[in-house]
Structures are given as structure tokens and as C-alpha cells.
Amino acid sequence: MYRYVTDVSKLSHYIVKNFCINFNVAVDATLGNGYDSDFLSKNFAKVYAFDIQKCAVDKYTEKNIDNVYLINDSHEYFSKYINEKVDCIMYNLGFLPGGDKKVTTRWESTLKSLEDALNIIDEGAIVSIALYRGHEEGKKEEEIVINYVEKLPKNKYGVMIHSFANRDNNPPILIIIEKK
């Protein structure tokens, strides 16, 4: 088992835990099975968790975690629910593992969400984007998201893309955005 070359979720957790400056407010943009929300709830005072699938929200509700605010809506509507500066936003783009693979994040809502994300994050914040590209919508989302982050002004944002060089079948990539 590799220690650094691991799955992108573990790597994103490591980066967030070690490089975020403040740990007040975080957002799980794609709740899914709740692994990122679990991690964020242990490290941040408040967590907003979004998912369009009611089944994901209902399942996570059973955990009854006090500092996680569940929102059954798309991440493209951050500004409708969040009225404070955010220290971290985590995305796992694609479909719900074990769920209906026809329900997936879409590039249009993801792009809108990223635009809003950059307006609500505080200085020193980290945005983590795990991009799963092994399906058609994922490939389109990859193209749009990478094109978007490559054009961010370098005097305001640092952007890194972590990818596997020796894995087959379109392995996920991890994009990290750090606000100056």
C-alpha cells in the first residue's frame, strides 16, 4: 500500500487538514455517502453539506451530527444558503457510489458552483475537487473544470492538479485551489 500515492479523497483530506489556515466553516459540495462531511465535521466548527439526492441527505441525517447542516439542493446554489466566509470547500464530482449512475454532477452546475465558491471563500481557504472522469459526463466536466481553473488569476489563486501517471481507465484527478 502506498502512503502518498493513495486515493484522491485521502490526499484531499491530508491537504485540507495540513494547509487550511482557519477551521471555522467548511462546505461539502457533494455529500454522497458522507465521507468528506465526516472528515470536515471533525475538523471544522460548522459544515454545510449539499446533495441533490434526497436519499443521500436522509441517510446522512441518521448520523445526527450537530455541526453538519444538510441541504437537499444543488451546490450551484451556495449563495442561497451560505452568508458567511468559508475556509474550505470539498467536491467529489461524478455519481453516488452505489447509487443510480444516471444521476451525476453536471458541468453546468459545477461551473456555476465553482464561480460562487471563489466568491465565498476566505483568504487562505482551500477548494478541493476530486474529479472522476470514467464516464461521459465526467469527461466533459473534466474539460470544463480544468479549462476554468487554468485561467484563474495567479496573483489570487494557486492551482495544482494531482493525477496518476501509471493507472488505466481514466483514474480520478485531484485539483486544489488555494486562495492567497
Task: Dump pLDDT digits (tens) for 110-163.
Answer: 999 999 999 999 999 999 999 988 777 778 889 999 999 999 999 999 999 999
Distance from C-alpha of 28 to C-alpha of 91, rounded to nearest angstrom? 6
Buried b (16+ CB within 10 A) or exposed e, 52-80: bbeebbeebeeeebeebebbbebbbebee
pTM of the model: 0.93
Per the prediction, the chain carries an average pLDDT of 92
- Spell out the domains of the chain, with CATH numbers in brackets: 8-179 (3.40.50.150)
Total residue length of the chain = 180
Task: Give the strands of the sheet with 121-131, arranged side by side.
Answer: 68-71, 46-50, 25-28, 86-93, 121-131, 173-179, 157-162
State residue 4's pLDDT score. 81
State residue 97's pLDDT score. 66
How much is the average pLDDT of 165-180? 91
Nearest CA among 24, 65, 26 for reference residue 48: 26
Percent share of the chain, pLDDT over 90: 76
**Which of the pair, 69 or 100, is modelled with greater confidence?**
69
Distance from C-alpha of 34 to C-alpha of 18, rounded to nearest angstrom? 21
Taking CA 146 as the corner, what is the angle to CA 162 and CA 22, rounded to the nearest 5 degrees? 60
Report CA 143 to chain centroid distance, whole Å. Answer: 17
